[in-house]
Amino acid sequence: MANVVVVGAQWGDEGKGKIVDWLSEQADIVVRFQGGHNAGHTLVIDGVVYKLSLLPSGIVRKGKLSVIGNGVVVDPSHLIDEIAKLQAQGVTITPENLKLADNATLILPMHRELDGFRENATSGTKIGTTKRGIGPAYEDKVGRRAIRVRDLAEPEALGPKVERLLAHHNALRRGLGLAEIEPATIIAMLNEIAPKILPFMDRAWDTLDHARREGKRILFEGAQGALLDIDHGTYPYVTSSNTVAGQAATGSGLGPGAVGYVLGIVKAYTTRVGEGPFPSELFDETGKRIGERGHEFGTVTGRPRRCGWFDAVLVRQTVKTSGITGIALTKLDILDGFDEIKVCTGYELDGEVLDYLPASEAAQKRLKPVYEAIPGWPGTTAGARSWAELPAEAIKYVRRIEELIGAPVALLSTSPERDDTILVKHPFES
């Protein structure tokens, strides 16, 4: 049985929540391996809506172990609040079913403040962050001055670590005209939250290695999308971590050999939240219609998502950068009733046609989509659970997408309901 990595193959918001929930029912362990609480998942189970942003999706299912890996940056205050909200909905969360990597980096209030100050500044590039401190926390991680989960268990050693952290942040704050922070303030806050966080602390890499050797099914859950990857995304309009499938190994502490089937989640059209290039974006009534029918608003931010036609160039590229084995195509039903559907098959740049996304920020801004028109379908795909229930034109659309991106459809989602799914190839059995 293969372990499975789930990654968004666009800019996020592809409908990972439903697919991860569907897979988590058959997994033994669900692992978050990157990001923070800046990306949300909405799960609907037996009519109950659960909104997650930091906890792995498996936490809402009994008998599953959820692991927050070392690749995640963790806001301890948010973690405590999210646990409390789910517990209020009747979800059992204990150190038995939730493990937090002891070498994960913590997000502190100063990170949130710095993130918001930068994003609200009137000069410079607006990235479109969620202002939750994710980026500054990752900066401290690679700058080797971060406070990590393990540090909470060693209060006597916190002083020098906090001073090293503040030597950097207070210099920044002076330059930005912000008040400096006293070490005692941070130490007191860390000591206050430590008893609430430490019971969940674990050597996650070791726990996962034992589980792998025992033949447990492991589901690696990514946040955001591959096009927001710090290396392979639309830089600088990206997140602060690697979001491609290779990060599942690094961000969990397991070697790459433990990563098996890579399932890319792909919308039948394209959306994006925040700033940055979007070659197939629609600014007309069609784009508005897609957004309204798809209820395209961010789970975490509530911001309306930008909408456009399916971009095969981008998805084909993420199939390669993430090593995607097969895709789960979601929200096909949103395209029901269109007389004609367009697919972006290439870009025109200064008179030249490209079959890839150039790395240059300036070039990305000048791209013009090259479209292929595909007939729409008058019937409905909503709620279909077999190929026989789909209009012939809808099947042709799916097959054309497979050809253009170079990956087969493993799952086809036809509504937010978990059972409205057409299974072609089971990832865990591949």
Question: Which of 21, 37, 41, 111 is flagged as catalytic?
Answer: 41
247 in Cβ contact with 256 (< 8 Å):
no
Looking at the DSSP bridge assignments, the partners of residue 354 are 347
Active site residue 75: no
Instruction: Supply 259's token pair.
Output: 């990563």
Active site residue 231: no
Question: Which of 13, 75, 151, 202 is flagged as catalytic?
Answer: 13
Instruction: Supply 219's token pair.
Output: 């589901």
Catalytic residues: 13, 41
